[in-house]
Amino acid sequence: MTNVITEVSKYLMLIIMVIYTFFNFIAIGVRTEKRKKSLCAKQLFMVFLLLTLGYLIIILRKEDYTIAIFFAVQFVFYLAYYRLFIRFYKRASRLIISNSILLFGFGVMFLTRLDYTRAITQFSIGAAAFVVSMLIPVIIKKLPVLAKWAWLYAIVGIGLLAVVWRLGSTTYGAQLTLSLGPVAIQPSELVKISFVFFSASMFAKSRSFKQVFLTAIVAAVHVLILVASTDLGSGLVYFVSFLFMIFVATHKPGFFAAGIGAGAAAAVGAYAVFDHVRIRVKMWLDPFSDYENKGYQLAQSMFAISSGGWFGLGLCKGYPNSIPLARNDFIFSAIIEELGIIFACCLLLIYLGFLIQLFRVSTRIDGMFYQIIGVGLASMIGIQVFLHVGGVTRMIPSTGITLPLVSYGGSSVLSTMITIGVIQGLNIISDGMTAKQRAGAQEKELEAEAGGELIEQ
Amino acid sequence: MNNDDIKRDEIQRQQRKRIGAAVEDYMREDDDFEDVDTYIAPDPDEVFIKLCEDGSEKKPRLSGGDGHNPPGKPPAPSEEEINKRRREIRKELIKGKKIHRDIMISTYFFVALFVGIIAYLCYFTYSKSDEFLASEYNSKRQSVYADKYIRGDIKSIDGEILATTKTDDDGKETRVYPFKNVFAHAVGYSTKGNTGIESIGNSYLLGSHTALLSQALSELKNQKIQGDTVVSTIDSRLQKAAYEALDGQKGAVIAMEVKTGKVLLMVSRPDFDPNKINEIWDDMVSDESNSNLVNRATQGLYPPGSTFKILTLLEYIRENPDSYDSFSYDCDSIYENGEYSIRCSKQVSHGMQDLKTAFANSCNGAFAVVGQSLKLDSLYDLCESMGYNSAIDTQLLVSKTKYSLTKDNASLWDVLQTSIGQGGTLTTPLLNLLIVSAAANDGVMQKPYIIDHIENANGSTVKTFSPENGRKVMYASEAKILGEYLRAVVTEGTGGNAEGKGYSVAGKTGSAEWSKGQDTHAWFVGYAPFDDPEIAVSVVVENAGSGGGVAAPIARAVFDEYFGNN
C-alpha cells in the first residue's frame, strides 16, 4: 500500500509542479488585480498540495509521525505569513509571496528527507527571516534617505567582510563564518544587500566617469576581500551583479564588456595563483582523475543526476546523502536524483519566472536608486541559481554557491528573504507605470495646466 | 493672420529648435547629465495619487526645490516654464526608456542563461547520463538498480544467449552463462564487480526502455522490471572457432570488421567458468602464474616481435618514397655491427633480399639495417600516432602499450632491437589488430566496439551503436603499398599457413623473444580478403614457437569459419 501511495504521489507531484510553473508564467502577463488574486490563490493551493504529497511520502518512508506535526506548523505559518503580508501591504506582489513560499517550503521538505533535525533548524531560522521580510517594505517606503547613505553601506560591508577575513579565517579556516555566541553567521550573504544598496546609491547620485570609477574601486575592494578569504563563489556573485548594475546605470555596453574582460583576466589570474581554483577546474574537466579525493563530490553528484533520469527515483528512494554537502552546496543534484530532471527544470523555470517578476518591478518604478537596487538584487539571485545548478551538473566548474531559499543555511535564507522584502518594498512604492506611461501622464498634466494653449505633437 | 499670430508662430519655432537642441545635447552627453543628478524620488504614492487627480498640481515633478512655486493658488504657468518642464519630461523619458531597455536586456540575458541550463540538463539526461551510470566508480547506486530491475540478457549478433538471469520460486536470482568458458572474458561476470560486456553494458542491463506507463505500473505493483537486452557484435561461431583453435595454449585471438570496428570475436586463454565465479574466485585471484581473469586480448602486454616490422617498413617508405624499392641486403643469417649481432630466425640465410622479400621472409638483418637509417623521432611519432604509449580509446578495458626509443636515449643496440620489435616495446593483441586493420582500410583506423545494439524486453531495438569516424593514421597510398608487402608475406614468405581455400590473406608473422632460453611468443596479424578486406585478426600464442607455424593456422581457423569453409 505504501508503495502505491508513494508511486502515485510521485507523479502527482510532478503534475502539480508543471501546472504551478505554467501559472507562474501566465501570471506575469496578467493585468487585472482580480485575476492575479485568483491565480495566486490557486498557486498557493498547489504549493500546499505539493508539500502535503511530499510529506506524505516522507512520513510513510521514514515512519516518523512527528514530521506530520512539523508540516502542520509550517502550514499554519505560511498561511499566516501570506494573509498578514497582504493585509499590511495591499500593493504587495502576491506572485512573489507565493513563489517564496513554494521555494522555501519545498526546500524545507527536501531537507526533511535529507536530514530532519537540520530541516527543523532551517525552518526556525527561515520563519524569523520571513518575519524580517515583512518589516523591510515599510522601511523602504518611509526612508527615502536610504539613497543617501552610500558610504555607510560601503563601510559596513567592507568592515564585515574584513572582520571575517581576518578572524573567520583564523578560527574557521575557509568556513567564512563569524561566531557570535551560539550563532554562526556568514556575513558575505548579508553584505550582498549592503553592496547593492551602496552601488545603487552611488549611481543614483551621478553617472559621471569619476563616480563610476570610484564605485568600481569600492566594489573591487569587496570582491578582493572575498577572493582573499577564498570565497571565490561569492566574489563572482558580487562581481556579476555589479556588472549588471553598471550596465543599467550607464547604458554603456562598453563598461559591461570591460567588466567581462577584467573578470576573464581575473579568472585566469585566479587560476594561476590559487591551487583550489586549479583543482576545481581540473575536477570539472575530469572528476575521475582524482576520484577518491577532490573529484569525489562532483562524481557523486553526476551519479546522482544520472540515476534520477527524467522522473527521478522517487522521494526517499535514492542515495542523495552519498554526495558530500548534499544539503546545501549540492542540493540540486539530490533533487534531480529523487524527483527527476523534469521536476528540476520546473524548479528552474519557477526561478526564472521569479526573476522576471523582480526585473519587472524595476522597469515600473521611478528613481534610479530603486531601479538599480531592483536590478542588482534580481541579478544576484539569478546568478546564484546559475552558478549552483551549473556547478553541480558540471556545466561549469563548481563554485560552492547555495541555491537561494532551497539550500540549507540560515544566512543564505535570511539574505534572500531580505532581498525579497526589499523588492516587495519597491513594488509597494512603484507607481506601476513604465517610463513611457509616466511621461505620457506628465505631458497630459502639463497640457491640462497650460489649458490647451500649447498643443505640440 | 495678424502680428500676434506671426509672433507666436515664431516663438513656437524657436521653442521647437531649443527642445530639439536640448534632446540632442542630451543624446550627445549621454551619461553626464549632472543637471538631473540631484533628483531624489518623491514619495511615489503621493505622486501617483496626485497624477490620478486633476491637473491642478503645479509642482514640476523633476525639479529639486520648489522655489518657483509661490504658495497659494498658482497662476497659469508661463510659456517658458511649460517648455522647460516639457524638456525635463522628455529628458526623463529618454533616460527612462534607456533604463527600461537595459533592464529588459538583462532580463533576456537571464532567460537565455536559464534556457541554456535546461537545454544542457535535458541533453545530459538524454545522451550522457548512461555513461556515468555505467561508470565503474558508481557501485553504490548500481545496487539500487539491481533492486528495481532484473538484469537483462546479453546476446551475440547471431542470436545466441550469452548471459541471462534466472529467478527461482523464492525470487532468488542467478546469472547463467550458457557458453561457460568460451565467452569468459568477452562477456565477463557481474557478481565480483562487473567485467567485459557485463560492465560496458551495465546501465542498459539494469535499465528499461519499455513504455514508461508499463514501468510505472510495475513499480506500483512492486514488481521488478525486466532490464534491456544487450546485443554484442561478437559472432558466437567465430568465437567458438577461435576458442577451439587456441585449445591447450595460453594466448589470445581477437578479430574485427575493418570497415566498422565491430569486434567479431575476443578469446583469451587460460579461462574460467563465469557460472562458478563465486566458488573459484579465491583460487583465481591467488593464482598469479596463469592469470586466468586477465583478458589477454586487450590487456596482455607482449613484445611485438616481427609484427613491429610493419611500422619500421612504413617509416622507411615515408622517409624514402622514391627509392625504397631499390633497397637491397645480402643476408647470411647474422648481421654484425661492432660488438652486436642480430640473427635471423632459425639461423636461415635469406641471401640477396630487396625490401619486399626481406619483409616477407622477416629478415632481421635487413630490418636492422633499415632501422639504423631511420629518423628516430619520426619513428617515435609514428608509433604514438598508431596508439603506442596510451590506452586505446574504447569501451574495453585495455592496458597502456609502450614504445620508448627516442633520439635521446638510443644506443645502437636499442636501435637494432627496436627495429625488429624487440627492445622495450610492448603491445597488446588489440593494438596490433588496429594497426593491421588500418592498413586494410585505406589507412583509417576504426574505433573498436563490442555492443551492436540494445533491445528492450519486448525485443524492439531501442538504441543502435554506429561506427564512429575512424582516425586516418596513414595515406591510402601507403596502406596500398603495405597491403602488397603484407600479401607477399602470405604468398611467398613466412605467413603461408594463414591462407585457406577460397579467400586471400595478407598479414605478418612474428616470433617474439621474451625471455632467454624460453620458446618465443607466436604472433600473426592479418586480414582477408586481400582485394576487399572485411575481417582483420590478431593472434598471439605464448611460449609456443614461430608465428608462421603456430599462430598463422589459428588465424586460418577463424578465416575458414568466417568464409564458410567448414
A247–B120 CB contact, under 8 Å? no
Res. A308 pLDDT band, cuts 50 70 90: confident
Q: B28 to chain A: which residues are within 8 Å by CB?
A: none
Planar angle of CA A324, A328, A331, nearest 5 degrees = 80
Q: B114 to chain A: which residues are within 8 Å by CB?
A: 348-349, 351-352, 355, 382, 385-386
Q: Which CATH architecture has domain B139-236?
A: Alpha-Beta Complex (3.90)
Higher pLDDT, B80 or A332: A332
Among chain A residues, the shortest Cα distance to B129 is held by A306
Read off the pTM: 0.69
For chain A positions 63-122, those within 8 Å of chain B (CB to CB) are none
B303 cis-preceded (ω within 30 degrees of 0): no
Question: Cell for A324?
Answer: 558530500
* 3-class secondary structure, B471: strand
Per residue in A231-285, pLDDT tens?
A: 888 899 999 999 999 998 888 888 888 888 988 898 888 888 888 888 888 888 8
User: Taking residues A195-208, what's their average pLDDT?
Assistant: 90
Roughly how many angstroms between the first and final C-alpha of chain A, as a whole number? 74
* 3-class secondary structure, B247: coil
A-interface mutation test, from B5, B14, B99, most A Cβ less than 10 A away: B99
| Beta bridge partner(s), residue B173 | B167
For chain A positions 327-366, those within 8 Å of chain B (CB to CB) are 336, 341, 344-345, 348-349, 351-352, 355-356, 359-360, 362-363, 365-366
| Beta bridge partner(s), residue B471 | B445
Nearest CB to A393; choose among B16, B92, B124: B124
Euclidean distance between CA atoms B376 and B378, whole angstroms: 5
Q: B132 to chain A: which residues are within 8 Å by CB?
A: 302-303, 305-306
Euclidean distance between CA atoms B267 and B294, whole angstroms: 11
| Beta bridge partner(s), residue B538 | B254, B525
Euclidean distance between CA atoms B424 and B304, whole angstroms: 10
What is B240-562's CATH number, 3.90.1150.10, 3.30.460.80, 3.40.710.10, 3.30.470.30?
A: 3.40.710.10
Minimal CA–CA distance to B131: which of A290, A394, A322?
A: A394
Q: Please state the φ and ψ torsions of residue B529, each to the nearest 5 degrees.
A: -70, 155
Angle of helix A150-163 relative to helix A209-228, nearest 10 degrees? 20
Are B19 and B86 contacting, i.e. CB atoms less than 8 angstroms apart? yes
The winner for highest mean pLDDT among A22-26, A412-416, B22-26, B337-341 is: A412-416
B100–A434 CB contact, under 8 Å? yes
Amino acid of residue B414:
D
A352–B110 CB contact, under 8 Å? yes
Res. A457 pLDDT band, cuts 50 70 90: very low
Euclidean distance between CA atoms A422 and A4, whole angstroms: 44
A344–B121 CB contact, under 8 Å? yes
Question: Cell for B47?
Answer: 505622486
**B395 CA to chain A: closest CA distance, Å?**
16
Task: Output the pLDDT for position B513.
Answer: 86
Are A125 and A414 contacting, i.e. CB atoms less than 8 angstroms apart? yes
For the four alpha carbons of B404, B410, B413 and B415, in that order, the dihedral sign comes to positive
| pLDDT (tens place) for every residue of chain B, 566 residues total | 556 666 667 766 666 665 555 545 444 444 433 334 334 444 545 544 444 444 433 444 444 444 444 455 556 667 788 888 888 888 888 888 888 888 999 999 999 999 999 999 999 988 888 778 767 677 777 777 777 889 999 999 999 999 999 988 887 889 999 999 999 999 999 887 788 999 888 888 888 877 777 777 777 777 788 889 999 999 999 999 999 999 999 999 999 999 999 999 999 999 999 999 888 888 888 887 888 889 999 999 999 999 999 999 999 999 999 999 899 999 988 998 888 888 888 888 899 999 999 999 999 999 999 999 999 999 999 999 999 998 888 878 888 899 988 877 788 889 999 999 998 899 999 999 999 999 999 999 999 999 999 998 888 998 899 888 889 999 999 999 999 999 999 999 999 999 988 999 999 999 998 888 888 999 999 999 999 999 999 999 999 989 999 999 999 999 999 998 65
| Beta bridge partner(s), residue B229 | B455
B529 cis-preceded (ω within 30 degrees of 0): yes
Q: B75 to chain A: which residues are within 8 Å by CB?
A: none
Sheet holding B161-167, edge to edge: B173-176, B161-167, B154-155, B229-232, B451-455, B461-464
For chain A positions 197-216, those within 8 Å of chain B (CB to CB) are 205-209
Angle of helix A368-392 relative to helix A296-308, nearest 10 degrees? 90
Among chain B residues, the shortest Cα distance to A367 is held by B41
Nearest CB to A367; choose among B41, B98, B145: B41
**A188 CA to chain B: closest CA distance, Å?**
23
Nearest CB to A435; choose among B16, B93, B131: B93
Per residue in A105-146, pLDDT tens?
A: 999 999 999 999 999 999 999 999 999 999 999 998 888 888
| Beta bridge partner(s), residue B257 | B535
Minimal CA–CA distance to B379: which of B335, B413, B345, B420?
A: B420
Are B199 and B136 contacting, i.e. CB atoms less than 8 angstroms apart? yes
Q: Where in chain B is the domain with CATH 3.90.1310.10?
A: 139-236
CA distances from A166 to A195, A237, A402, B490 (A): 20, 21, 23, 78
Strand (E) or helix (H) holding B256: strand B251-257
Contacts of A317 (CB under 8 A, 6+ apart): A61, A338, B144
Chains A and B form CB pairs within 8 A to the count of 224
β-pairing, B149-150 with B225-226? parallel
Euclidean distance between CA atoms B19 and B88, whole angstroms: 10
Strand (E) or helix (H) holding B461: strand B461-464
Q: A367 to chain B: which residues are within 8 Å by CB?
A: 39-41, 44
Task: Output the pLDDT for position A276.
Answer: 81
Euclidean distance between CA atoms A213 and A210, whole angstroms: 5
CA distances from A435 to B35, B94, B185 (A): 19, 8, 73
Amino acid of residue A86:
I
B-interface mutation test, from A251, A291, A389, A428, most B Cβ less than 10 A away: A251
Task: Output the pLDDT for position A298.
Answer: 87
Task: Output the pLDDT for position B314.
Answer: 95
DSSP E strands: which ranges in B318-420? 328-331, 334-337, 340-343, 351-354
Task: Output the pLDDT for position A146.
Answer: 84
Euclidean distance between CA atoms B406 and B86, whole angstroms: 83
Euclidean distance between CA atoms B295 and B397, whole angstroms: 8
Q: A341 to chain B: which residues are within 8 Å by CB?
A: 121-122, 125
Query: Does A456 contact B at CB distance below 8 Å?
Result: yes
CA distances from B386 to A319, B405, B431, B528 (A): 43, 15, 8, 21
Are B538 and B214 contacting, i.e. CB atoms less than 8 angstroms apart? no
* 3-class secondary structure, A180: strand
**Which DSSP state fits B373?**
H
Nearest CB to B96; choose among A250, A429, A435: A435
Task: Output the pLDDT for position A171.
Answer: 42
Among chain B residues, the shortest Cα distance to A363 is held by B100
**B157 CA to chain A: closest CA distance, Å?**
29
Burial of A263 (0-12, 13-18, 19+ CB in 10 A): middle
B92–A441 CB contact, under 8 Å? no
**A139 CA to chain B: closest CA distance, Å?**
13
- Three-state SS for B325-339 is HHCEEEECCEEEECC
**Which DSSP state fits B145?**
H
B184-204 b/e (C-beta count within 10 Å ≥ 16 → b): bbbbbbbeeebbbbbbbbbbb
Q: Where in chain B is the domain with CATH 3.40.710.10?
A: 240-562
Euclidean distance between CA atoms B251 and B429, whole angstroms: 9
Are B130 and B208 contacting, i.e. CB atoms less than 8 angstroms apart? no
Q: A379 to chain B: which residues are within 8 Å by CB?
A: 106, 110
